[in-house]
Chains A and B, each alone.
Chain A
């Protein structure tokens, strides 16, 4: 069910992305960091769904607030001439790997359980 939602979403997104016009080069920096934030949110959502503590408010607010904060950091970094967005990327990617670990463990244990049952 989850996988279907993700695949349908991605296909729809690619179609929309191809239809929309390209954006200016300067904006693309902010979009890049927003993409990383969105990826983090997706992984976080899947992981929390597995842990059965998914909260819609937390998910949606996290998505927007994280993306906006990351973009603000990029803007600030541009003004200060420091690559602050790197910090945001490190945090997001670190969390992504954490969440991926949770997802991986869940499906691995599910898989081995099924095998045990089959053997019995």
Chain B
């Protein structure tokens, strides 16, 4: 008889225990607890890896498609003068859009965060911001640059340079210090625009950011690898 009571008591405690656990689990569902945060972090890491792989795959696919497109163009325009003209036209438009690798004279500059560790200076002044890059690109364009890239991210008409925490996003891709800015155009005018007294790099140097500008006769700038799409804008003619 005593034994039976023990079973009943344990059973009752089990009822209480299971009730409490169920209520607790239901309460904690969707809550942002410290424990679930650790799990959420690893989940985020997993999905990040997955998306990275997808993005890589997509890039490979895109490259294949571009090659195929090129082949098709060549075969379709093999015969006839007018089609050759068309092909040249296409090439020119692609060059304008930044969809071709280009080479030419120009400048290469490296912009690096300040090496100073003096904490009494405002840290914000010591790092290269997205606005700095935008201003430099603007300066180069104004000096007649025909092609610009930052850390191999081609600047095209759809390019946005934005801040994303401790990195900068260009064309949606992360770039970080040191920034290598390449520009093709008239060497003298580009170099002059960048190094002129009172110019933008003057201000950067005053913030102890390292700027190294070099002229080069053979600047190679790779093409824009993203997709340029027009969904809302329609031709009027």
Contacts and interface: CB of A to CB of B under 8 A. Distances in A.
A19 to B, nearest CB: 9
Contact of B26 (A22, A32, A60): A22
B24 A9 contact: no
B15 A42 contact: no
B27 A14 contact: no
Contacts of A41: 13
A17 B15 CA distance: 9
B8 to A, nearest CB: 7
B6 A17 contact: no
Q: What bracket does the count of chain A residues touching chain B fall in?
A: 35 or more
Interface stretch (A23-31, A73-81, A86-94): A23-31
B6 A25 contact: no
A101 interface: no
A98 interface: no
Interface string A1-30: 110011011111110111010110100100
Contacts of B21: 13, 17, 35
Contact of A12 (B3, B18, B23, B28): B18
Interface of B: 2-3, 5-24, 26-28, 31
Given A6-B11, A28-B27, A45-B9, 13 more contacts: A10-B17, A13-B15, A13-B16, A14-B19, A16-B18, A17-B20, A22-B23, A23-B27, A35-B21, A38-B17, A42-B10, A42-B17, A63-B13
